[in-house]
Amino acid sequence: MNAADSSSDIDPRYDPVDGPVVATFIRYAVPSVLGMLAVTSAGIIDGIFIGNFVGANALAAVNLAQPAWAAFAAIVFMLAVGGSVMCGRFLGQKDVIAASSIFTRTFVAAVGMGILIAGCGLIFLNDLVRLLGATEIVRPLVTEYMRIVLLFAPVFVAALTLDYFVRADGRPVLAAVGLVAFAGTNIALNTLFIVYLGWGIAGAAWASALAEFAIFLILLSHWFHPKCSLKLTLARGRWADIAKAAWNGFSEFINEMSVGLVVLFFNWVMITRQGVEGVAAYTIITYLMMIGLEVSYGISESLQPTISRNLGAQKPQRIRKFLLTAVCAAFSVGLLVSILLLALPEQMIGLFLRSDEQATAVIALLFISYFWPTFLLNGTNITLASYFTALHRPVPSALIAISRSLVLPGIGLLLLPLWFGDAGVYLAIPLAELLTLVLAVILVFRINPLAAAATEDKLS
């Protein structure tokens, strides 16, 4: 298939290969950021519904299920991100058949993995629930919730995979509409099932499951649209390409798995040194960090299709311009969040605390006074890791991801409290982000944007 066959898939005003860099970046970034914020708000509202209308035990049950869900999502992200940037590179080369082939193989592999994991989870559900640490009181609730979630997990996998490929195929707005529809449907069904019908924790699970159908159907409509260039085909390529895609998306796997481990480490240190109030203060910090992080993840996701297409088109100058634009955007978001935290710390903390919980508020205020540089740096690090993923450079991408999300925070939590007391706990992640940024900048200057593509072309 020649260039003419794929010329209608992207609005020429926002073509990643030929359009104006800043306008094109905004075209991809704004829908992506709005979609990520929508999904985040849906998760927070989920917790509000469960905590206020079902009870604390149900909220605990949902939290106990999260580690298994994180491991499941990590595998899917690895395949979807890795496959979509390969697809973007082929589209940049005007090779629609190869792009369609990697899409087909990635979609089949991801859904197949989802069915396999969900099936094993359902077969060994009781053992899984015990492994997650559920006590006798919450075990029935965890079992009820996970049975429904696992049953519909393959739909979630299919929808998430389509989301990345819809972006790669030049329709970021449709991808964002799907995520917003997921959030809106989830909130509406939570209201119906939990508040009005009284279905309890099962209502929360059913709301999430049916919301996944909403995003899947919306994204599926792309394949019936004239602008769609990707088709289901195995005409070119090999199944071994899926291993290459998974390796390229390995940093996403590390991100998902590492975050859960670091939270466990932090909770252990905080409860040991400062009790329940310390854990509550850290929870507030993570809520405050969530919005800034999701904006950064939206920026990094919008960078992947623009970079990968220019990689395929062999345009290193445009790759550098898109990277600079994304880094400036991520740093600006971090700067804004940092200013808000430093200017209005009491008001920000007060959103999550009653007026009589002063012990937790004092710890959270002290936490912010040391922790705020994290918000300034983490978005840039996330963006640089995503940049290397888009370049088909999984090793530097994974190195940045594991440095900022696991290795350096873990070392900091082990050593810094010995030297600086509680301040060492607060400084562990800011110092990890700073050291990671130094590493990331060195890698950016040392690695030629087109070197990976040239190496792959010689091997293929």
Q: What is the secondary structure of 218-263 as a DSSP string?
A: HHHGGGGSTT-------SS--THHHHHHHHHTHHHHHHHHHHHHHH
Per the CB < 8 A criterion, the answer to whether 38 and 294 are in contact is: no
pLDDT score at 352: 58
> 153-168 vs 172-190: helix axis angle to the nearest 10?
150
Residue type, 38: A
Q: Residue 160, CB half-sphere, CA atoms under 13 Å: how many? A: 23
pLDDT score at 283: 64
pLDDT score at 310: 75
User: According to DSSP H, which parts of 313-357 are helical?
Assistant: 316-343, 345-350
* Angle formed at CA 430 by CA 272 and CA 406, multiple of 5 degrees: 70
Per-residue CA distances from 213 to 157, 159, 424 (Å): 11, 8, 45
Check residue 292 and report its DSSP letter: H
Residue with token string 């990277």 = 323
Per the CB < 8 A criterion, the answer to whether 254 and 398 are in contact is: yes
pLDDT score at 52: 66
pLDDT score at 265: 67
pLDDT score at 460: 43
Per the CB < 8 A criterion, the answer to whether 62 and 78 are in contact is: no
Residues of the chain scoring pLDDT < 50:
1-9, 453-460
pLDDT score at 281: 67
Residue 72 to residue 78: CA distance in whole angstroms: 10
Tens digit of each residue's pLDDT (9 = 90 or more) over 400-449: 888 887 788 888 888 888 888 878 888 888 899 899 999 999 988 888 77
Residue 352 to residue 43: CA distance in whole angstroms: 16
pLDDT score at 439: 92
Residue 62 to residue 56: CA distance in whole angstroms: 10
Percent of the chain scored above 90 by pLDDT?
2
Burial of 418 (0-12, 13-18, 19+ CB in 10 A): exposed
0.85 exceeded by pTM: no
pLDDT score at 15: 66
Residue 241 to residue 89: CA distance in whole angstroms: 14
